[in-house]
């Protein structure tokens, strides 16, 4: 076939895709009406995970799995916007990695609301100014975000999804010549993640700390001879040149984010449950708390401790395990655990993010 014939085939396929997208949107409107009558939430993380997982397994190529996932996430985002414009609060300002995670999770058709703090993200959702919130919970290099754990203690909100995002840092500037940079703005944690690259490429540059990577990028956009360490999204938003790509010392740097909302999602077959509990101060107490998980063949993926804010020298433990709270094994384990601890709270049950292996 010649080029014109091949392009005609592409045009025919595109027209069929467009027709099917609109057919899908029409059905989605019908689903919205049913959900409204039944009082069901419009966004269902379990349903989303099942759809994307099934299509990924069906994909025989040559179209890449990652592209299939990205396209269908955007299709679902646009469809969801037809059902009900969904509002997402995130730890701002614009162009932070939490903003990037929110877009990755909900697609570009959602309405994104920047919040000044993690506490404000929780407050937005609790007061129904937003439908869901996105907050960081841990970084593979820097560890857990304690403030998020502290908010989960007393908040009525539930974890309803998670997202693990690769974190790549970029050196951004209005200038195009690296040798002209004498000042670099960055969040202190980010500077620590890029120390080796900075020492090798800008050893004499002055370091100015900012509250976020976005504020750093904003400063760099206003001052010649300066640069910022920030995300690729920040380069787009603040119209900055990229002077260094993926400058983080650890190429496997990742951050895990949580989606918080009012409901626990339905099981998908590949889920996590997060809980919090406190224990009596006695010999072997923690060992006894963990026994129920082994007794019921539940795999723990994380355990973290935090001092209780209610009583000195008392600790709270945060545990993630594979499985859904609705499953018999999980219910039996938590029933056994509840009889041994002072306090037990289920923080959420949600699809496990396995996108990065």
Give the DSSP letter string of 48-59.
HHHHHHHHHHH-
Residue 50 pLDDT: 85
Q: Per mean pLDDT, which range of 2-6, 147-151, 190-194 is the poorest?
A: 190-194
Whose structure tokens read 């260094």?
A: 244
Task: Give me the phi and psi of 3, to 5 degrees please.
Answer: -60, -40
Strand partners, 112: 88
| CA–CA distance, 149 with 306 (Å, rounded to integer) | 8
Asked if CATH classification 2.30.30.40 holds for the domain at 1-84, the reply, yes or no, is no
Report residue 100 as tokens: 């990037």
- Identify the CATH assignment for 86-167+255-263 out of 3.40.190.10, 2.40.50.100, 3.40.50.300, 3.30.43.10: 3.40.190.10
Report residue 191 as tokens: 């500077």
H or E element that contains 114 = strand 111-115
Question: Do 170-244 and 265-351 share a fold?
Answer: no
Question: Beta-strand (E) ranges in 168-299?
Answer: 170-173, 183-186, 206-209, 226-230, 241-244, 254-261, 271-278
Measured distance between the N- and C-terminal CA atoms of the chain, rounded to whole angstroms = 40
Angle (CA) 216-142-259 rounded to 5° is 80
Residue 309 pLDDT: 67
Sign of CA dihedral 277, 278, 280, 284: positive
Quick check: 316 pLDDT over 60? Answer: yes
Taking each continuous run of H as one helix and of E as one strand, the counts in the chain are: 12, 15
Residue 22 pLDDT: 93
Active-site residue identified among 97, 112, 122, 257? 257
Active-site residue identified among 98, 148, 213, 255? 255
Residue 289 pLDDT: 85
pLDDT higher at 229 or 310? 229
Catalytic residue check, 170: no
Whose structure tokens read 């570009």?
A: 108
Catalytic residue check, 255: yes
What CATH architecture is 265-351? 2-Layer Sandwich (3.30)
Residue 311 pLDDT: 63
What band does 38 get if pLDDT is binned at 50, 70 and 90?
confident
Q: Give the DSSP letter of residue 324.
A: -
| CA–CA distance, 171 with 178 (Å, rounded to integer) | 9
H or E element that contains 118 = helix 118-126
What are the residue boundaries of the structural domains of the chain, listed by start? 1-84, 86-167+255-263, 170-244, 265-351
Rounded to an integer, the average pLDDT of 242-256 is 89
Q: What does pLDDT average to over the chain?
A: 89
Most confident of 33-47, 137-151, 172-186: 172-186
| CA–CA distance, 163 with 90 (Å, rounded to integer) | 13
CATH superfamily of this structure's domain 170-244: Periplasmic binding protein-like II (3.40.190.10)
Quick check: 233 pLDDT over 70? Answer: yes
Question: What pLDDT, in 10s, does the model give residues 39-84?
Answer: 877 777 778 888 888 999 999 989 998 899 889 988 988 888 887 7
Q: What is the signed CA dihedral for 121, 123, 128, 129, rounded to 10 degrees?
A: -60
Rounded to an integer, the average pLDDT of 156-170 is 92
- In this prediction the pTM is 0.83
Residue 33 pLDDT: 86
What band does 131 get if pLDDT is binned at 50, 70 and 90?
very high
What band does 102 get if pLDDT is binned at 50, 70 and 90?
very high
Quick check: 333 pLDDT over 90? Answer: yes
What band does 356 get if pLDDT is binned at 50, 70 and 90?
low
């Amino acid at each position: 076939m010649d080029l014109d014939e091949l392009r005609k085939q592409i045009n025919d396929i595109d027209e069929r895709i467009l027709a099917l997208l609109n057919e899908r949107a029409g059905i989605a409107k019908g689903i919205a009406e049913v959900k409204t009558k039944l009082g069901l939430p419009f966004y269902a993380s379990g349903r989303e995970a099942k759809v994307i997982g099934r299509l990924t397994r069906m994909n025989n190529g040559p179209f890449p799995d990652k592209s299939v996932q990205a396209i269908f996430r955007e299709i679902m985002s646009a469809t969801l916007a037809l059902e009900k414009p969904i509002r997402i609060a995130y730890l701002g300002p614009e162009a932070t990695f939490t903003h990037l995670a929110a877009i990755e999770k909900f697609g570009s058709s959602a309405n994104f609301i920047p919040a000044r703090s993690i506490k404000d993200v929780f407050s937005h959702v609790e007061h129904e100014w937003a439908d869901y919130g996105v907050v960081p919970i841990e970084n593979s290099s820097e560890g857990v975000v304690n403030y998020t754990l502290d908010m989960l203690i007393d908040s009525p909100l539930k974890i309803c999804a998670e997202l693990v995002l690769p974190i790549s840092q970029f050196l951004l500037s209005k200038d195009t010549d690296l040798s002209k940079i004498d000042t670099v703005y960055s969040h202190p944690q980010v500077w620590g993640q890029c120390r080796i690259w900075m020492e090798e490429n800008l050893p004499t540059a002055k370091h100015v700390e900012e509250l976020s990577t976005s504020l750093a990028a904003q400063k760099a956009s206003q001052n010649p001879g300066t640069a910022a360490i920030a995300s690729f999204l920040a380069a787009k938003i603040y119209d900055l040149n990229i002077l260094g790509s993926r400058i983080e010392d650890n190429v496997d740097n990742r951050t895990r984010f949580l989606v918080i909302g009012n409901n626990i999602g339905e099981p998908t077959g590949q889920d996590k449950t997060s809980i919090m509990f406190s224990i009596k101060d006695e010999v072997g107490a923690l060992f006894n708390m963990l026994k129920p998980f082994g007794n019921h063949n539940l795999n723990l993926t994380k355990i973290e401790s935090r001092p209780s804010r209610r009583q000195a020298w008392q600790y709270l433990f945060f545990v993630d395990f594979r499985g859904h709270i609705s499953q018999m094994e999980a219910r039996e384990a938590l029933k056994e655990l509840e009889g041994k601890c002072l306090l037990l709270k289920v923080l959420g049950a949600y699809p496990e993010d396995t996108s990065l292996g």
